[in-house]
Amino acid sequence: MHRLTVDDVYEHAHGICFKNGPPGTVGAETEWLVVDRRAPGAHVAVERLRTVVERAGPLPGGSAITFEPGGQLELSSAPFGDLGALHRALSADIEHVRARLAEHALELTGRGMDPARPPRLQADHPRYACMRDYFVATGYAEAGLTMMCSTASVQVCLEVGADPADAQARWRLAHALGPVLVAAFANSPLRAGRPTGLRSTRQATWSVLDPARTLPVASGPGADPAADWARYALDARVMLVRPRPGTGERWAGAPGMTFRQWLAKGEPDRDDLAYHLTTLFPPVRPRGWLELRMIDAPPLRYWPVPVAVAAALLDDPRAADAAAEATAPVAGRWAEAARDALTDPALARAARACFTAALEALPRLGAAELTPLVAEYADRYVDRGRCPADDLDPAHLLEATP
């Protein structure tokens, strides 16, 4: 077996995580809390949910269905060559699942965090038990369990870039855009039945977890983002060690070392590296594509809006230039975005400029069909300095908001 080295980690980051691809391909992962209309304050057993979904049959748009540790339902699209095709396919799949769930009094709920039910680990895969053990061992038990079991987001997946220079520019823009996306789509002001004082409690929860694996990847002007990602991965603590096939070993959580220290022992291989990378959760994660992970799950009607806005601002050159200019003053304002959202004047200005640029870009990207919905969202929220979190009333927190 080839002994993995630090150089191999850098090679993997450049050749796999930052694999160049021309902009245009887009995918999305939509996570949903599921509520029983007859008992909205009770957890929905994941076994029940899985049975209903399996009986629904194949999805018409080809999305994959998985379940998060707390029973959140996730629909992950295939990659599509254009935004309009993604919208049509994923919309059909969401509606297919929603209709089948409704037959059993179950509803998909678009919120970034469960507003009332306490976190409950329902997954039986050893990965999630190890994750829980890791967060306990490292002092993040409460936030870790909340993140795993009570949060939901929309993740937008876009190409890395046509060449290294393009990849560098897109990487920087995705990070600068992050706080604006947090603020514009903030939708989690409640937890355990109480207002938290935050508009995106989901984003704030991520930010107080193990910073070596959840904070943004530091990457300064002119830096090589692939090299920065390799260093991030090397310096992050190993969350778990999987058993080697045929050894009789068991999964082990919190082994107490960074990946760099594990390398020094000569133990991990390429599969261990690839798996380690799946346990790192920065707001922009390179996986051979850029995965934008900072957006709260919006109300069901508006799930296409963050996908359309993010894709337009990164994939359309004119919109990208406008977004780079608009977001420069607010890059790094993650905490303000989670707390204040668009009541922060600087974030509100940046969001309005970004939505204007996105609306102009959508027809150029062949996605004019999405323009009315994005414009509706802008009129209801962004142009008024509001976000979905401002709609949620603690007195009605148990009602499933479609």
What CATH number is given to the structural domain containing 25? Answer: 3.30.590.20
Using CA atoms, how far residue 295 sits from 131, 181, 337, in Å, is 22, 6, 11
- Which one, of 239, 398, 209, 378, lies nearest residue 309 by Cα? 378
Would you say residue 396 lies in a domain?
A: no
Would you say residue 141 lies in a domain?
A: yes
- Which one, of 210, 74, 194, 197, lies nearest residue 144 by Cα? 210
Q: Cα–Cα distance between 351 and 357 in angstroms, integer?
A: 10
Q: Cα–Cα distance between 48 and 53 in angstroms, integer?
A: 9
For residue 398, the model assigns a pLDDT of 41
For residue 131, the model assigns a pLDDT of 96
For residue 151, the model assigns a pLDDT of 98
Would you say residue 393 lies in a domain?
A: no
Q: Cα–Cα distance between 366 and 194 in angstroms, integer?
A: 43
Would you say residue 331 lies in a domain?
A: yes
Q: How far from the centroid of its chain's Cα atoms is residue 267's Cα? A: 31
pTM: 0.95
The secondary structure element, H or E, covering residue 73 is: strand 73-76
For residue 147, the model assigns a pLDDT of 97
Count of domains observed in the chain? 1
- Which one, of 3, 13, 1, lies nearest residue 235 by Cα? 13
Domain interval for residue 381: 6-385
Would you say residue 234 lies in a domain?
A: yes
Would you say residue 394 lies in a domain?
A: no
- Which one, of 262, 239, 304, lies nearest residue 84 by Cα? 304
Q: pLDDT digit of tens for each residue in the chain (402 aa)?
A: 578 999 999 999 999 999 998 889 999 999 999 999 999 999 999 999 999 999 988 999 999 999 999 999 999 999 999 999 999 999 999 999 999 999 999 999 999 999 999 999 999 899 999 999 999 999 999 999 999 999 999 999 999 999 999 999 999 999 999 999 999 999 999 999 899 999 999 999 999 999 999 999 988 888 899 999 999 999 999 999 999 887 778 999 999 999 999 999 999 999 999 999 999 999 999 999 999 999 999 999 999 999 999 999 999 999 999 999 999 999 999 999 999 999 999 999 999 999 999 999 999 999 999 999 999 999 999 999 999 999 976 554 444 333
Would you say residue 115 lies in a domain?
A: yes
Q: Cα–Cα distance between 389 and 115 in angstroms, integer?
A: 11
Would you say residue 154 lies in a domain?
A: yes
For residue 392, the model assigns a pLDDT of 77
